[in-house]
Structure 1
Amino acid sequence: MLKNKKIVENKLKALYNSSFPKFAFVPEKAYSDGKSSVKGLVVDLQDVIQFDIKVKDPILAYEYDYKVEKSKEKREYINNYFFFDSDSDFVIAENVIVSPWIEYVLQMFANSFMRIGVDNALEYEIEDFCTEILGDIK
């Protein structure tokens, strides 16, 4: 049991010290009135979703409540972006991550995608690009 505790402790320290490039720990004090630097959120930086900006207003108006929303189609639409499939589910914008913590999350996000497996352009591709943009300059 003691060995497992040490493993977990080491992992938590690594998370807290930004040693995992895929995750960012954001302390409670970064997004709420709480002053805790121990409690917080773990952000999975590579769990990226994109949703239409039109969902912003309904979220801010507290319109995404499973108990209230009766339309099956709308429930399915909301569930495409958020966990929205049981009576206890709802979607709200609870807090905003403040500066400098939001910059920290953005920096960690950028670092997480530093190299995503895209090859560098080949010489002939660069030449074709330049020719397309600049014309055939000799």
Structure 2
Amino acid sequence: MTDPSQPSDRYKKGLAVRRSVLGDAHVNRASANATSFDQPFQTLITETAWGTVWSGSHWTKRERSMVTIALLAALGHDDEVAMHVRATANTGATEEDIREALMHVAIYAGVPAANHAFKIAKLALAERDADNSQMEETK
């Protein structure tokens, strides 16, 4: 019988993938902010989104990143779009990849959704670049 107080293997795998994509700072923040109310949700997304979908072997993290950005943009999930645009620094997806994903959003989900997502992506990329510049200056 599995001990419910111990994380599953899928959770452990998902946590490693989540950290590799979103970065330790983001995952640590999410973990620190979890309460007894939303901890089951954190476990669910770590096991399913990260431990199953993002851990699959058919697509690369770069490919998953592009599809995720397009889907989130099409559905209007602004905060998640920004988070996943920033995460492209860890997935190998380039600014050109992001642009092409959002061009698909324009055709298949509508120009207004893509227009808004382009604004979000530009801001997220500028913030990421500024953070990287600050880190370089402190070295």
> Of the two, which has the highest radius of gyration?
1
When you count strand as a share of all residues, which structure comes out higher?
1
TM-score (norm 2): 0.24
When you count helix as a share of all residues, which structure comes out higher?
2
TM-score (norm 1): 0.24
